[in-house]
Structure 1
């Protein structure tokens, strides 16, 4: 590779791979994390929250796909905001995405540990979580085609297991169980219920968090302009059905309060129906691990591409833009995100804030990054429609400007309410952003010529704007 050639990723992913990545990135959200929303809002209140967030994500994906197909770049949202708002906009979107994708894996790794602990009580969940990092960072280093094929395989298994879960617990389902004290611990709606609905937003977002990460694989897709829309639309529809089905069936088999502050709600819900010794329960624990593994493995792929893209453009140290000479994978970026994630797993005193479990706070931190990125992405969509009306858009957001506006308004509402209910975690989020911004401001020399894809795009955008 010559000194002037930028590192390139291998183009080997099919549309089916992209669908597997889009769903796999998210599907662990059906297995754990969301049930903390019941503790905040009650089962009925959280159902309302989930309807609002599902609307936000559906309109977001139908709009976001326009950006992904028009600008297929490993940086995903970073690239779109750079093109629309320049380097500072790129930094905001890129660093927010980085926080989302670096902080989601430790929460999932801890859930993997909790699931394994069900079968092996002597196993420390944190040790299991670190072991998961080592195994799946290695798989991601091995090659993108291998990693994506594995992702597709475990995603299909995870979907199958969720369908099995709903079928097995259905004989024990009763709507009266689900609705009992469903408004933040009360049988009737009140102001407290409304407060709970907003407080539960991070955990409803966990149902869908990271689906946008498939955009970071677009640069490695064989035909992103055709395959990405199919993968995204199929993915969001799959996830909406699974999210509502899983939540409603789990909450209707007994006392949903018993599931509201644990990392393994589905095995515990099934246990209430079939008993501790049932083969169905053991199958759920083992196959259910595939759902967690699918997201864990996929998000490692996502954070590594975000670190790679930011480094290639000069926003992070250039060593993280190094591509393995034979595997063509960003191996140093994969390892860097893993180091941060493992540190988070063992940082109980730092991250356990406000009396909430460690996992809940990590989820909230990741969601803060996601929401900021969603806002930047929808703003970039509107701006690029004005700046670059002639930009080739193989897919255009339907019902424009209504869909992106709905997504943008709901994202801003979600951010505001999350700040109100999670002030301390937001303070930590701002602190991380401040550190990243200082690095950005004092390392302009790293950007030099930067990523030619981004510089050329931004120069073209400015030229079109300045033309009389």
Structure 2
């Protein structure tokens, strides 16, 4: 049976290279989730969950896995660049909704790349002890390096990701290894809640730690470049989420076993504090280096994701067709990659965009809700092709409900500035649609084979 290939099939138009194997998909998903978040998140979570912080990660995994399974099923059905935007158009055939979803995901990725570029620069300055070197220059240099890797090819991007993911995972494994002798020394069910562990406690834990799993959604954007995506993409997403859960739980147990949870919550670098107490012989600069690899990987993966999303939307007709061009030799969407660079430079030069990044997380939760509902619609549509990995309808239904609840919770519990910025981004996205009046082409709802 011919493998689905949605890239343009005309002889004068090169296609994206199918160069990603199952292990690379696993590393891509795992690298997207690990990031640098866990290095600080465990402290904040301990302040609310006490020694039972490990339980928060377990509950969050169940909540996140619902949407992860929906993405795995959709990726096996429609292995196309464009990710959530492509799925939204196929399910609802509403170009305006597709436009909003696509640009919301892209905004999340671009703010992440810009933020991580600045973090890399600041940590490089700390590691090298450089004085007088402007951080902004290092940020822009790093941005150019990432752009060059993504332009070079998907194979090269995957190998860099594997290296960075290995370093990230090794850092967490090192924490676990030095902390295992401390296991069993504390009551892992102790919480700051006078009511103990109940539904409210578990909900709080899930809300706090859910965001440690964000990143799995990036994988669907490279499905068109994967070998046998109907089979390998679901395996990559599910196994990576399970592996991340094991790492997170073990790290959480280790952290509260070595450092009392109240002190852990106050520590500026929770895992660095764990290492300082359990293994003082490990040099302090080690975790600075690991942080650089972690945030660099996040930037790389988000750049890849944003470029494939831009490429996919251009091929749908929602953006200029020039952005759908593929380099004949490198087999990368080079015009989309280059088009993102000036936007990223502007974001880096804008300075602290932390509030903007928080706003895009709200948009991402809304996108998760839409994607889960899209799977429900497509499952019920007669004649819709099945994928290599199908899930029963309660999975996307529960996933949509969980994401909607998390979105509402974030809206009411965060500072007003993040929701206001999210609303502002939506207004700008809608304004862009009104000005450009994009039209979806037939190719947006068609899968070619070849």
Q: Give the TM-score category using the shorter length.
A: 0.7 to 0.9
Aligned counterpart, 2:3: none
Contact 2:14 2:326 in 1 (8 A): yes
**Quick check: 1:312 aligned with 2:322?**
no
* In structure 2, distance between residues paired with 1:363 and 1:179: 34
Please say if 1:415 is aligned against 2:407.
Answer: yes
- State whether structure 2 residue 123 is matched by structure 1 residue 112: no
Aligned to 1:300: 303
How many Å apart are 1:220 and its aligned residue? 0.8
CA distance in 1, matches of 2:83, 2:75: 7
Alignment of 1:388-407 (within 5 A): 388-397=382-391, 400-407=392-399
The residue number in structure 2 matching 1:188 is 194
Task: Tell me the distance in 2 between the aligned counterparts of 1:327 and 1:68.
Answer: 24
Alignment equivalent of 1:378, drawn from 365, 372, 382: 372
1 CA distance for matches of 2:186 and 2:39? 23
Deviation at 1:154, TM superposition (A): 2.5
Whether 2:283 is the aligned partner of 1:274: answer no
Report Cα offsets for 1:311-342 as digits up to 9, x if no partner: 23232344433333432222343344444444
Secondary structure, aligned partner of 2:258: coil
Shift of 1:410: 0.8
Q: What 5-or-longer segments of structure 1 have no aligned partner?
A: 352-357, 458-468
| Rounded Cα–Cα distance in structure 1 between residues aligned with 2:257 and 2:356 | 28
Moved more, 71-80 or 309-318: 309-318
The structure-2 alpha-carbon separation of the partners of 1:24 and 1:257, relative to structure 1 and needing over 3 Å to count, comes to: same
- Cα distance in structure 1, aligned partners of 2:188 and 2:119: 24
Q: Equivalences for 1:426-437 in 2 at 5 Å?
A: 426-437=419-430
Q: 1:75, 1:306 within 8 Å by CA — same for their partners in 2? A: yes
> Which residue number corresponds to residue 462 of structure 1?
none
Residues 173-203 of structure 1 show CA distances to partners (whole Å, capped at 9, x for unaligned) of 67649888x53xxx6359xx969965983x5
> Taking structure 1 as reference, are residues 74 and 375 closer, same or farther at Cα in structure 2, changes over 3 Å only?
same
CA distance in 1, matches of 2:127, 2:83: 39
Contact 2:51 2:261 in 1 (8 A): no
CA distance in 2, matches of 1:130, 1:213: 24
Deviation digits for residues 139-178 of structure 1, max 9, x if unmatched? 1111111111221233233223321221123345676498
CA distance in 2, matches of 1:408, 1:83: 18
Query: CA contact under 8 A between 1:96 and 1:372: conserved in structure 2?
Result: no
Tell me how far 1:65 sits from its aligned partner: 1.2
The question of whether the paired residues in 2 share the 8 Å contact of 1:206 and 1:363 is answered with: no
Q: Is the 8 A contact 1:60 1:407 kept in 2?
A: yes
Query: Residue 443 of structure 2 is aligned with which of 437, 444, 453?
Result: 453
CA distance in 2 between counterparts of 1:8 and 1:286 reads 37
How far is 1:71 from its partner? Answer: 0.6
| 1:143 aligns with one of 142, 153, 171 | 153
Does the CA-based 8 Å contact 2:368-2:400 persist in structure 1?
yes
CA RMSD of aligned residues (A): 3.5
Q: Secondary structure at the match of 2:212?
A: coil
Secondary structure of the equivalent of 1:428? helix
Q: Compare 81-90 and 116-125 and name the one that shifted more.
A: 116-125
Q: Is the 8 A contact 2:35 2:298 kept in 1?
A: yes
* CA displacement at 1:302 relative to structure 2: 0.9
SS in 2 for 1:63: helix
2:292 alignment partner in structure 1:
289
Task: Give the alignment partner of residue 89 of structure 2, picking from 76, 82, 97.
Answer: 82
The C-alpha deviation readout for 1:209-230, integer Å capped at 9, x for no partner, is: 1211111111111211121122
CA contact (8 A) 2:120 2:296 kept: yes
Work out whether 1:211 is the aligned partner of 2:201.
no
Query: How far apart are the structure 2 equivalents of 1:305 and 1:264?
Result: 34
Q: What does 1:166-181 align with in structure 2 at a 5 Å threshold?
A: 166-171=176-181, 176=186
Aligned positions of 1:319-358 closer than 5 A: 319-348=322-351, 351=353, 358=354
Q: Which moved more, 1:411-420 or 1:290-299?
A: 290-299
In the alignment of these two chains, the number of paired residues is: 435
**TM-score normalised by length of structure 2:** 0.84
My pick for the range that moved more, 18-27 or 372-381, is 18-27
Q: Which runs of 5+ in 2 are unaligned?
A: 1-7
Say if 1:313 and 1:396 are closer, same or farther in 2 by CA, change over 3 A: same
Q: Which residue pairs with 2:4 in the alignment?
A: none
- Residue-by-residue CA offset, 1:68-94 (whole Å, 9 max, x unaligned): 111111111111111000123322321
Shift of 1:30: 5.0
- 1:466 corresponding residue in structure 2: none
Aligned partner of 1:23 in structure 2 is 30
In the superposition, the TM-score normalised over structure 1's length comes to 0.81
Q: Deviations over 1:37-78 (max 9, x none)?
A: 438735458656534421121122222211111111111111
